[in-house]
């Protein structure tokens, strides 16, 4: 039915038909489960407008839209299934006699079928799709590998599948792609890591896996724009688990992330905001020449989220080192903070106040 209903009935986050539509203060509507996961992850901006939200945004039920969806589902005409049965498509993947074109076609259709259908994603894993998909991820053919990774990503969107996919050996395959795949495949592989890491137990498993974090750090160095962004996002996802922060630091992530900030890529500031919580992370940041200047530039030019993490990171560093306080003052941080005091974003105001207090406590301002 999801493919028959209007796009306005679909959640902008999950792209699935909404069962419990709610309205954010920004005026946009999302499925309650999807927007709650977004908020629980610490986001305080609207996923569509990127405008800041209150610390505890009110989710208002959209009864009118919910009624429309229910009524439309009752009267919408059914359509004939344009695809073969999913079991047939899976069989085509597992059959030794299936030519490459058949496998490509089967994967393409399964990707389309699973994009919006969470029930089918669960069914596919019950029908044994995971080993077949992972075998295709191992393929030397980049087209087959890319389509298999796209299907793996779709399957991983369902929380019930995440632990099972890791148990089936998904991390081993994905790490190999991070190292040796095409640019597009490496970007999707990093996104798969991010998706799997939504489940807490997977964060520990991924971090403990040989070369997983190292491969992501390597992608920050060798990848192009999209690859770097997805690798940084994956690192942010898995470094919310404390042990993984030290692993990322040991892999040399800190100077690389700071260098990416200096080149204009903002996502790494979120990772630095996690790594600065470790003593080892702070020590590595203090060793990087120009670290404070780069962080102050984030405060000056970054997005709302970037400024939050920039303030948080800089405050941690200045709390630990008086020298860095003087560097921050010389870079004009106090003037920037005075402007940020007027921000609507409550977190920015709070982090700004904390940084100014840190500078006062270190006697760099009167």
pLDDT in tens, 88-103: 899 999 888 989 999 9
What SS3 state is found at 22? strand
What's the farthest any 2 CA atoms get from each other in the chain?
Answer: 78
pLDDT in tens, 173-192: 999 999 999 999 999 999 99
| Phi then psi dihedrals of residue 192, to 5 deg | -60, -40
What letter does residue 138 receive in the DSSP assignment? T
pLDDT in tens, 116-135: 888 888 889 888 899 999 99
pLDDT in tens, 60-89: 888 888 878 777 655 554 444 454 688 889
pLDDT of residue 56: 81
pTM to 2 decimal places: 0.75
pLDDT of residue 75: 56
What's the mean pLDDT when you consider all of the chain?
A: 89
CA–CA distance, 350 with 364 (Å, rounded to integer): 20
| Residue pair 223/186 in contact by the 8 Å Cβ criterion | yes
pLDDT of residue 300: 93
CB atoms within 10 A of CB 254: 27
| 147 bridge partner residues | none
pLDDT of residue 76: 53
- Say whether pLDDT at 4 is over 70: no
pLDDT of residue 100: 93
| Mean per-residue pLDDT, 35-49 | 87
- Say whether pLDDT at 115 is over 80: yes
Band of residue 326 on the pLDDT scale cut at 50, 70, 90: very high
pLDDT in tens, 217-243: 999 999 998 999 999 999 999 999 999
Structure-model confidence comparison of residues 104 and 63, the more confident one? 104
| Mean per-residue pLDDT, 131-160 | 94
| Phi then psi dihedrals of residue 55, to 5 deg | -60, -40
CA–CA distance, 168 with 148 (Å, rounded to integer): 15
CA–CA distance, 144 with 188 (Å, rounded to integer): 13
CA–CA distance, 110 with 100 (Å, rounded to integer): 15
- Say whether pLDDT at 3 is over 90: no
Q: Which residues contact 173 (CB under 8 A, 6 or more apart)?
A: 134, 137, 138
pLDDT of residue 275: 97
> What are the Cα distances from residue 331, in Å, to 24, 291, 296?
38, 11, 7
> What are the Cα distances from residue 320, in Å, to 248, 257, 315?
21, 20, 9
For the chain, the first-to-last Cα distance in angstroms comes to: 66
pLDDT of residue 14: 84
Handedness of CA 99, 103, 106, 108 (dihedral sign): negative
- Six-digit token pair at 112? 């389309």
């Amino acid at each position: 039915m999801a493919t028959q209903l209007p796009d306005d009935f679909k959640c902008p986050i999950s792209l699935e038909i909404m069962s419990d539509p709610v309205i954010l203060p920004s005026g946009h509507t999302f499925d309650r489960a999807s927007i709650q996961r977004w908020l629980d992850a610490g986001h305080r901006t609207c996923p569509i407008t990127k405008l800041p939200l209150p610390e505890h945004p009110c989710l208002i039920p959209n009864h009118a839209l919910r009624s429309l969806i229910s009524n439309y589902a009752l009267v919408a005409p059914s359509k004939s299934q344009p695809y073969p049965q999913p079991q047939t498509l899976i069989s085509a993947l597992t059959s030794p006699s299936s030519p490459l074109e058949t496998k490509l076609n089967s994967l393409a259709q399964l990707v389309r079928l699973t994009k919006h259908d969470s029930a089918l994603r669960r069914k596919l894993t019950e029908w044994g799709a995971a080993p077949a998909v992972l075998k295709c991820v191992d393929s030397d053919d980049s087209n087959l590998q890319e389509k298999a990774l796209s299907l793996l990503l779709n399957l991983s969107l369902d929380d019930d599948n995440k632990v099972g996919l890791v148990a089936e050996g998904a991390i081993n395959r994905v790490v190999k792609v991070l190292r040796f795949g095409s640019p597009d495949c490496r970007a999707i592989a990093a996104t798969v890591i991010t998706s799997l890491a939504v489940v807490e137990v997977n964060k520990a498993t991924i971090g403990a896996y040989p070369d997983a974090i190292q491969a992501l750090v390597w992608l920050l160095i060798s990848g192009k724009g999209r690859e770097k962004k997805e690798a940084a996002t994956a690192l942010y996802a898995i470094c919310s688990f404390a042990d993984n922060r030290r692993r990322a630091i040991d892999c040399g992530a800190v100077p690389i992330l700071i260098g990416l900030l200096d080149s204009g890529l903002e996502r790494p500031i979120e990772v630095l905001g996690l790594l600065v919580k470790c003593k080892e992370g702070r020590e590595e940041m203090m060793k990087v020449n120009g670290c404070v200047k780069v962080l102050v530039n984030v405060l000056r030019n970054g997005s709302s989220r970037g400024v939050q993490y920039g303030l948080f990171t800089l405050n941690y560093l200045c709390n630990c080192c008086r020298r860095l306080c003087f560097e921050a003052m010389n870079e004009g941080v106090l003037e920037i903070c005075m402007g940020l005091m007027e921000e609507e974003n409550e977190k920015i105001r709070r982090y700004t106040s904390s940084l100014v207090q840190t500078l006062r406590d270190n006697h760099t301002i009167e």
